A and B are shown apart, each in its own frame.
Chain A
Amino acid sequence: MSRLPFYLVVALLLVAGIALTLHRHLQFEVPWTPGEQRQVWEIEAQVNFRADGGPAKVNMALPSSQEGFRVLTEHTASPGYGLTYLNENGSRRAEWSIRDASGSQQLYYSVQVLVAPQASPAMAPPPPSPVDVVWERPYDTAAAQVIDRAWSRSADAYTFARGLISDFSDERQGENARLLLTQFDRVPLLVRLLNQAGIQAREVSGLMLEHGRRRQSLTSWIQVFDESGESVLFNPATGEQGRPDNLLLWEAGGQAVLEVQGGSNSQVSFSMLSRNQPAASAVRRQLAEDTGTLLNFSIHSLPLEEQALFQTILLIPIGALVVVLLRVLVGIKTSGTFMPVLIALAFIQTTLVTGLIGFLLVVAVGLVIRNYLSYLNLLLVARVTAVIITVIAIISVFSVLSYRFGLNAGLTITFFPMIILSWTIERMSILWEEEGPKEVLIQGGGSLLTAVLAYLAMNNPWIRHLTFNFLGIQLILMAVILMLGNYTGYRLLELRRFKPVTED
């Protein structure tokens, strides 16, 4: 009898579980611990323009998830305007439209952006290869000379771009550069020169994020592509290479940030705030919106009420694992195999101390009444039903009494699974008659110990976080339990039980 298929299944479950868990962590940045804080930027863009008194159309670039940032939610406030989100060549835009507008107009767009260091770069595709650039005299010679000078001192696209930009920086401007700057703006000029040298480049607009800043505007950056399609950002003023950590690219497609038809004096200004929030809640919102593929299968897409239910359901395997560990590895006796898990679930609702007191009270009183019922010579099912009603009565009395005495905690006693409690009482009563009170203490104590340990495991915020956010954990648990089911070694308590044999 080969055990190979068994180990294959276990290995498969383990690999699938770990892969799913890692995928969840890396792809969605679900943190390993519940307390982890994430920085979230709230950015508000305010578009101002003067409408000409007729139909108006405002088209503004919107930020996308990108390297270092992930867009969580976005809202607009624009009374009277129609709004559509457009997606053009990988860059997102919003288009507001109105039939009749006049005077000063304000449109608002706000976005929440999560700082996510592992977020994948989702840049717009590189622009098409530059077409021949045509200059007017005398700028053509100036441009050619500037390009020649930078070309001879560079090795590739990036060093060329750096050299070109430094030639245009204030203190080292040559004659040619000064001439070109009289006719052209610096950034479009640089892009044009790069294109003429056969290098793909475009102007992009970004927002420097600083906490509490208002009335900020976008800054221009030059994105330079090398032959392999990789790109690097350059600061057009200093020639500095690379993206600052706090730069959020707002428009990355080489297009205008804001286009207004039917209006004038348009401008956009930004204000921003940063705050820290628990990573779990940031992630939750993000997962809730991401319901696209099956791989993103997530409980977060369910309504909140069902989510809360699942949070509990997904904990049951943890409680069951505690039972398996205690029974297979330790050898503790419990009354009813998984009864302790249900008691532990009740403890979660009642808190531990209240739960323990309530459980002991109900079982103790139940045992006394059950003892009387045994004299009535009833059929089993009828007797257990009588015990169920008794348990309900006990719980009602305790609830009312504790409420009268002002102990609101006593009310939570109603969370106990009454039918399970009744069977526990029935079994313990029989155990008492047959094996004596000692066995009742052993099994009852074992059940309570298991229930308390299961409660501690299931109520641990870290475990709650893991089981709820990583469904792969369930597969790993399954693999662990399968392995435990294959354990032929001694139980801890057997080391004590069999000790006399080894003493001779």
Chain B
Amino acid sequence: MWSSPGKLRAKGIIGMNRRNIRYIGRYNNRRLYPLVDDKLKTKLLAQAHGITSPALIGTVATQFGVKHIRQMLDGHAGFVIKPAKGSGGKGILVIERVEGGQYVKPSGLHLTLSDVERHVSNILSGLYSLGGSPDVALIEGLINFDTTFAEYTYEGVPDIRVIVFQGYPVMAMMRLSTAASDGKANLHQGAVGVGIDIATGAAIRGVQFDRTRHDHPDTGHELASLKIAGWETLLLLAADCYEMTGLGYLGTDMVLDRDHGPMLLELNARPGLAIQMANGEGLRPRLDLVERQTEARDAAQRVAFAQHHFARHSELETGLALAPEQAGA
């Protein structure tokens, strides 16, 4: 039921208090927060830096604009509506397709236009934003996600979270949505977190609800064979975000698009700690190692450094070794 502080420290696990004081407080200048807290600013910044991100269909900034949302959505089969200043995945509405004037969520739930309008109106009045301040709704094109991952996810798009510390990608995980998480990639809502080896982009370990998993709970597909193609490109993209924002302790959320490769979805100045669970390893030794680096390196060198030092072997059993009782579990 309980572990001891000594055991956690031995594993290098970082707690919430340490993350807040030692890393976020020290390396993230509050002045820079708006760059990542406002998804619209992040998007524009990413475009200016040549970092690929999902296409912007439009923004709604006024309640008056809500009435025109229909024209804006016309011609788009699928789209995502999100608050510019939302946090923790709150207020993100994913519409997979439009069927006879009804909007269909990945779960198959049908929404009417007024449901969508109410959602946008809620976003504008600040329901999902930090501190409840008035907000802007962002409408983005749906990502044509790479079908190689279709077996590893239930509805929703699997996204990849890379923690970038002082420009070094230190730890990564893939978040696979499940039925329990309603197609969202939030671990505390029941998504599966898969630790990814920084060196190769291959899966190391899987967890759901903080417990180890070897397969996807809905598709039943084993996780051991999961390997991300174009891993180095993705790491470079993540490492570039350090120069882009200036934030020292950064969570970068990326998706793999069928046509455009890795895309920056959003940035997080207060990335959560669940990534340690997914990797079965604490962040501390890696952060300490990066803190000891005095040499100035560019993004490519930092990625190479990380790939060299943070390599790991998979703990997952391969499909062949998967025992029947575990497959059924």
Contact surface of A with B, Cβ cutoff 8 Å: 1, 328, 331, 377, 379-381, 430, 434-435, 486-491, 494-502, 504
Are B277 and A501 in contact, CB atoms less than 8 angstroms apart? yes
Known contacts A331-B16, A501-B281; is-contact A379 B63 (Cβ 8 Å): yes
Are A498 and B277 in contact, CB atoms less than 8 angstroms apart? yes
In whole angstroms, what is the CA distance A379 to B124 when docked? 9
| Residues of chain B within 8 A of A434, CB atoms compared | 90
Q: Is B258's beta carbon under 8 Å from chain A?
A: no
Contact surface of B with A, Cβ cutoff 8 Å: 1-5, 7-8, 10-11, 13, 15-18, 21-22, 26, 63, 90, 114, 117-118, 121-122, 125-127, 132, 189, 207, 210-212, 276-277, 280-282, 315
| Residues of chain A within 8 A of B210, CB atoms compared | 497, 500
In whole angstroms, what is the CA distance A499 to B1 when docked? 7
Sample of 8 more A-B contacts, CB < 8 Å, known A487-B21, A498-B277: A1-B26, A379-B63, A488-B18, A497-B210, A498-B276, A499-B1, A499-B3, A501-B13
| Residues of chain A within 8 A of B189, CB atoms compared | 435
In whole angstroms, what is the CA distance A328 to B16 when docked? 9
Give the residue name and chain of the B residue nearest to A488 (CB). B18
| Residues of chain A within 8 A of B7, CB atoms compared | 502
Task: Please list 26 pairs of residues, one from A and one from B, whose beta carbons are closer than 8 Å in the complex, sorted by A's number.
Answer: A1-B26, A377-B117, A377-B121, A379-B121, A380-B122, A380-B126, A434-B90, A435-B189, A486-B21, A488-B18, A488-B22, A489-B15, A489-B17, A489-B18, A490-B8, A494-B13, A495-B3, A496-B2, A498-B8, A499-B1, A500-B207, A500-B211, A500-B277, A501-B11, A501-B280, A502-B13
In whole angstroms, what is the CA distance A292 to B297 when docked? 67
| Residues of chain A within 8 A of B118, CB atoms compared | 377
Are B121 and A488 in contact, CB atoms less than 8 angstroms apart? no
| Residues of chain B within 8 A of A499, CB atoms compared | 1-3
A303 to chain B, nearest CB (A): 39
Are B16 and A380 in contact, CB atoms less than 8 angstroms apart? no
In whole angstroms, what is the CA distance A486 to B282 when docked? 21
In whole angstroms, what is the CA distance A380 to B120 when docked? 12
Are A490 and B5 in contact, CB atoms less than 8 angstroms apart? yes
| Residues of chain A within 8 A of B132, CB atoms compared | 380
Give the residue name and chain of the A residue nearest to B20 (CB). A488
Are B127 and A380 in contact, CB atoms less than 8 angstroms apart? yes
| Cβ-neighbour of A494 out of B8, B10, B126 (below 8 A) | B8
| Cβ-neighbour of B21 out of A488, A491, A494, A498 (below 8 A) | A488
Chain A to chain B: the 3 pairs with minimum beta-carbon distance, closest first: A380-B125, A488-B18, A490-B15
Are B15 and A488 in contact, CB atoms less than 8 angstroms apart? yes
Are B127 and A430 in contact, CB atoms less than 8 angstroms apart? yes
Are A488 and B17 in contact, CB atoms less than 8 angstroms apart? yes
In whole angstroms, what is the CA distance A328 to B2 when docked? 18
In whole angstroms, what is the CA distance A277 to B253 when docked? 68
Give the residue name and chain of the A residue nearest to B115 (CB). A377
In whole angstroms, what is the CA distance A377 to B121 when docked? 8
In whole angstroms, what is the CA distance A490 to B3 when docked? 11
In whole angstroms, what is the CA distance A434 to B122 when docked? 13
Are A498 and B22 in contact, CB atoms less than 8 angstroms apart? no
Are B15 and A491 in contact, CB atoms less than 8 angstroms apart? yes
Residue picked from B10, B17, B118, B132, most chain A C-beta under 10 Å: B17
| Cβ-neighbour of B13 out of A328, A377, A498 (below 8 A) | A498
| Residues of chain A within 8 A of B277, CB atoms compared | 497-498, 500-501
Known contacts A488-B15, A488-B18; is-contact A502 B8 (Cβ 8 Å): yes
Are A496 and B1 in contact, CB atoms less than 8 angstroms apart? yes
In whole angstroms, what is the CA distance A380 to B131 when docked? 13
In whole angstroms, what is the CA distance A381 to B15 when docked? 36
In whole angstroms, what is the CA distance A496 to B4 when docked? 9
| Cβ-neighbour of B3 out of A380, A489, A496 (below 8 A) | A496
| Cβ-neighbour of A377 out of B5, B26, B114, B207 (below 8 A) | B114
| Residues of chain B within 8 A of A486, CB atoms compared | 21
Are B125 and A381 in contact, CB atoms less than 8 angstroms apart? yes
A336 to chain B, nearest CB (A): 11
Give the residue name and chain of the B residue nearest to A435 (CB). B189
| Residues of chain B within 8 A of A1, CB atoms compared | 26
In whole angstroms, what is the CA distance A206 to B44 when docked? 90
| Residues of chain B within 8 A of A498, CB atoms compared | 3, 8, 11, 13, 276-277
| Cβ-neighbour of A502 out of B11, B16, B207 (below 8 A) | B11
B90 to chain A, nearest CB (A): 6
Residue picked from B3, B22, B26, B118, most chain A C-beta under 10 Å: B3
Are A495 and B2 in contact, CB atoms less than 8 angstroms apart? yes
| Residues of chain B within 8 A of A496, CB atoms compared | 1-3
Residue picked from B10, B90, B125, B211, most chain A C-beta under 10 Å: B125
Residue picked from A328, A331, A488, A491, most chain B C-beta under 10 Å: A488
In whole angstroms, what is the CA distance A490 to B117 when docked? 43
In whole angstroms, what is the CA distance A488 to B281 when docked? 19
Give the residue name and chain of the B residue nearest to A329 (CB). B17
B118 to chain A, nearest CB (A): 4
In whole angstroms, what is the CA distance A211 to B126 when docked? 73
| Residues of chain A within 8 A of B21, CB atoms compared | 486-488
Are A504 and B280 in contact, CB atoms less than 8 angstroms apart? yes
Are B63 and A495 in contact, CB atoms less than 8 angstroms apart? no
| Residues of chain B within 8 A of A379, CB atoms compared | 63, 121, 125
Are A494 and B125 in contact, CB atoms less than 8 angstroms apart? no
B194 to chain A, nearest CB (A): 15
| Residues of chain A within 8 A of B90, CB atoms compared | 434
In whole angstroms, what is the CA distance A149 to B315 when docked? 105
Give the residue name and chain of the A residue nearest to B180 (CB). A436
A349 to chain B, nearest CB (A): 28
Give the residue name and chain of the A residue nearest to B125 (CB). A380
In whole angstroms, what is the CA distance A349 to B242 when docked? 53
| Residues of chain A within 8 A of B126, CB atoms compared | 380
B111 to chain A, nearest CB (A): 13
B9 to chain A, nearest CB (A): 8
In whole angstroms, what is the CA distance A497 to B15 when docked? 10
| Residues of chain A within 8 A of B5, CB atoms compared | 489-490, 495
In whole angstroms, what is the CA distance A65 to B63 when docked? 74
